[in-house]
Structure 1
Amino acid sequence: MKKTNHCELCDLQAFDFKSGIICGLTKQKPSFQKQCSNISLEQKLAEKLVEINLECEDLKHVKRQSILNLVFYLIIGIAVIYLSYFIGTILPEAIIFHTITIIIFVAGLVLLGKGIGGINFYNQRYKVLSPKKEVLDQLTRIYNIDYEFKSQITTDLMDVKRTNFELFIGGKSFVTKHVID
């Protein structure tokens, strides 16, 4: 793990255009071994915990929606492809029906692609978010910080997403918010 990962969560961090993230106390790059003895983990840690855990909870919501979309579009897509096969075998004499059959078949493939696209989107977001979450959890273990993140994501009929969350650090409620997307 990079030492600057510790500094990104510290309230004392500073930034230098030459060196990047530096310690606000020593004005130098971090030089500790396993953990920093001067680290101040409060506001930036809470912000990062909320940010990454909200993304993880949102990703769980996206996963459920992606699976439902995959099933829905897979069923509809296969039905449309079967319809094109059915039309092509029943009415093979008329040329216009061959064109319609091809159009219906392509529409079925598009529906299948739409279902698979949601799963691909989920997988890409998971590959980006998973390492961030692992690093954050490693840092909280290094500094013996226990946290609990509770959230509830709901969507209404107009697809407006509401997120209620609460962050507990060391058993005390630290942040409680309601977010509307």
Structure 2
Amino acid sequence: MDIRKHCQLCNHQIVDFKTGTICGITQRKPEFVNKCINAKFDDKLESKIETTNVEYERVLKTKWIVYTNFIAFLIIGVAVILAGYFLAEYLLKFRVIAAAPFIISLVGLLFVLPLATGPLNNYKNDLRLAKAKKDDVDRVLDLYGIKYDINISFGKKYHGVQEVDVSLKIIK
């Protein structure tokens, strides 16, 4: 595990843009093996737990709409592609070869199907990143025997800003 993960939760962390993370007590880069004996987890810890868990829950909250979007645009995309195919078959009965069926199928393939897969890929990436951040915090806290109980409730969304109420109880 990257020892800087410990420092991100510690109140003694000093970030210097030239040298990186420095311990506020030793004035040097962190040099511990598993646990830091000088670690002090207070305000910074609470803030980090809240932000990582809120971010993770926010991503999980979008799951239903992302999968609904995927199914809807997948059906529409396949329908457009099939419409182009059946139009081509219909026109071939009259011995007519036209570009319209191919263009219709390409529109379904190149423009509609990405509307299905794009948000799904973004959701999966966001979920993976949020889960990794949450797991990093949880692993560090497990090393120090710190547990927490968090309750997150999402309120209304005004002008793109989501109200979030967080109740956090840290058990040391």
Q: If the TM-score is normalised by the length of the shorter chain, which range does it land in?
A: 0.7 to 0.9
Letter of the structure 2 residue corresponding to residue 89 of structure 1: E
2:9 maps to 1:13:
no
Partner of 1:135: 136
Contact 1:4 1:30 in 2 (8 A): yes
Contact 1:151 1:163 in 2 (8 A): no
- Compared with structure 1, are the counterparts of its residues 165 and 98 closer, same or farther at alpha carbon in structure 2 (3 Å cutoff)? farther
Deviations 1:25-70 (A, max 9, x none): 1112223333222222111111211221122112212332221111
* Structure 1 runs (4+) greater than 6 angstroms displaced: none
Report deviation, 1:160: 4.7
Deviates more, 1:107-116 or 1:66-75: 107-116
Secondary structure (helix, strand or coil) at the match of 1:91 reads: helix
Q: TM-score, normalised by structure 2?
A: 0.82
Letter of the structure 1 residue corresponding to residue 148 of structure 2: Y
Partner of 1:144: 145
Q: TM-score, normalised by structure 1?
A: 0.79
Deviates more, 1:79-88 or 1:69-78: 79-88
- Compared with structure 1, are the counterparts of its residues 18 and 85 closer, same or farther at alpha carbon in structure 2 (3 Å cutoff)? closer
Structure 1: gaps of 5 or more residues: 172-181
2:108 maps to 1:108:
yes
Report deviation, 1:18: 4.5
- Compared with structure 1, are the counterparts of its residues 170 and 124 closer, same or farther at alpha carbon in structure 2 (3 Å cutoff)? closer
Structure 2: gaps of 5 or more residues: none
Letter of the structure 2 residue corresponding to residue 118 of structure 1: P
Contact 2:13 2:24 in 1 (8 A): yes
What is the RMSD of the two structures over their aligned residues, measured on CA atoms?
Answer: 2.6
- Compared with structure 1, are the counterparts of its residues 59 and 149 closer, same or farther at alpha carbon in structure 2 (3 Å cutoff)? same
Secondary structure (helix, strand or coil) at the match of 2:99 reads: helix
Partner of 1:179: none
The answer to which structure, 1 or 2, has the higher relative contact order (CA under 8 A, 6+ apart) is 2
- Compared with structure 1, are the counterparts of its residues 27 and 68 closer, same or farther at alpha carbon in structure 2 (3 Å cutoff)? same
Partner of 1:24: 24
Partner of 2:170: 170
Q: Which runs of structure 2 are paired with 1:1-181 in the superposition (5 Å)?
A: 1-92=1-92, 93=94, 98-109=98-109, 110-153=111-154, 160=160, 162-170=162-170
- Compared with structure 1, are the counterparts of its residues 54 and 3 closer, same or farther at alpha carbon in structure 2 (3 Å cutoff)? same
Deviations 1:67-124 (A, max 9, x none): 11110011111111222122222233486x8232122212221212210111211222
Identity of aligned residues (%): 30
Secondary structure (helix, strand or coil) at the match of 1:170 reads: strand
